[in-house]
Amino acid sequence: MQLFRTISNRLHYFMAVPAILLFSLFFIFPLTQGVGISLTDSNGVTRPDFIGIQNFIDFFKDDRARTDVSNTVLFALGSAPLLNLFGFLYALVLDRTFKGKAIIRAIVYLPAVISPLIMGYVWYFILQPGRGFLFHLLQKVGLDGGNWLADAHSALIVLILVNVWQFVGMTMIIYLAGLQAIPKELYEACEIDGAGYGGKLRYVTVPMLVQSIKINVVTNMIGSLSVFEIIIALTDGGPGYSTESLSIYILRMLYGSFTGYSTAVAMILFVMIVIPVIVFMRIIRKQEFEM
């Protein structure tokens, strides 16, 4: 009885244990193992041999991998800034008071609720070359076109725009939450000092949104660098490998039983994500101190 009481009195020190166990087993443990697997020629069937950094050397000689890296980076460079820009503008509009605000907010968020895979198929109906909704629509008004998915460059742009379209609501809601947390007095003080709309935006809104900016930039960087569902649904990486992302490459190498190589590519993708995120966090921390 005494023991039971002692235990239950200390139980609160152990409340993180379920989370720690779960996360260690299903994330940390596989992650550390992954480092090992990336140094082998494992194919998932026969016994793997240690081959050092051979997989990483292969990666840099692999043309397809190089295309995928540039696709992934270009996609992220287009997608993350656009998402933040439009998310911020959307939030500014939806921060105003008008009737029906809640409904508009929900509608704008709606696409982000749906699986990117299914949403990708929906856009495929609209954009499929020679058959899609847009193709027919343009034909009706006497224009030839709407085959943007058939060309490598325009396909990448379409993928970026579809991604921005789908997740702008997600970015918006974080900015909106940040905007609503700004005390009104700050704006009033700013008005007394004679600032206009631009001044208020520059000296109150943006600095007060640092936390939202942090969350949005980081999640958008991670999300767009590891993109794959939307690409699978819209172009399946094609034409050729011209819109394939690194994540898709990782998945396909897995199916092709290049397990060791696939894991090595995964490690490279990890580094490609962590570096920009850390650099960004450094920059923004410096900004915060200066303010």
Partner 1 sequence: MKWTRNFWTYAIVSAMALLSLIPFYILLYLSLNTPSRTLFDGLLLLPEFHIQNYADAWQKSRIGSATLNSLIIAIGAVAAIILASSMAGYTIARYNNKLHSLVFNVLLICMMIPAIIITVPLYSLMKAIGGINTHWGMILLLASNGLPFSVFLYTSFVKGLPREVEESAIIDGCTPFSAFWRVTFHFLRPVTAAVVILQGLAVWNNYGQAVFFLQSQELRTIPLAVSMFFQQYGAQWNLMAAASVIGLTPAVIAFLLFQKYFVKGLTAGAVKG
Nearest CA-CA partner of 273 in 228, 229, 224 = 224
Integer-rounded Cα Rg, in Å, for the chain is: 24
Which residues share a beta bridge with 40? Answer: 50
For the bound state, the minimum distance from the C-beta of residue 259 to partner 1, rounded and expressed in Å, comes to: 5
136 versus 202: smaller Cβ distance to partner 1:
136
In three-state secondary structure terms, 40 is strand
The residue behind tokens 């193992």 is 33
Q: At a CB cut-off of 8 Å and minimum separation 6, what does 153 contact?
A: none
159 versus 173: smaller Cβ distance to partner 1:
173
Separation CA 221–CA 224 (nearest Å): 5
133 versus 193: smaller Cβ distance to partner 1:
133
Please return the burial class of 125, using the count of CB atoms within 10 Å of its CB with bins 0-12, 13-18 and 19+: exposed
Nearest CA-CA partner of 247 in 230, 234, 211 = 230
Nearest CA-CA partner of 212 in 97, 126, 100, 91 = 91
Q: At a CB cut-off of 8 Å and minimum separation 6, what does 246 contact?
A: 65, 68, 69, 71, 72, 225, 226, 265, 268, 269, 272
For the bound state, the minimum distance from the C-beta of residue 267 to partner 1, rounded and expressed in Å, comes to: 7
For the bound state, the minimum distance from the C-beta of residue 289 to partner 1, rounded and expressed in Å, comes to: 18
For the bound state, the minimum distance from the C-beta of residue 79 to partner 1, rounded and expressed in Å, comes to: 15
77 versus 110: smaller Cβ distance to partner 1:
110
Separation CA 210–CA 31 (nearest Å): 31
CA angle 79/144/139 to nearest 5° reads 105
For the bound state, the minimum distance from the C-beta of residue 96 to partner 1, rounded and expressed in Å, comes to: 6
For the bound state, the minimum distance from the C-beta of residue 63 to partner 1, rounded and expressed in Å, comes to: 22
80 versus 225: smaller Cβ distance to partner 1:
225
193 versus 229: smaller Cβ distance to partner 1:
229
193 versus 275: smaller Cβ distance to partner 1:
275
For the bound state, the minimum distance from the C-beta of residue 44 to partner 1, rounded and expressed in Å, comes to: 8
For the bound state, the minimum distance from the C-beta of residue 132 to partner 1, rounded and expressed in Å, comes to: 8
62 versus 229: smaller Cβ distance to partner 1:
229
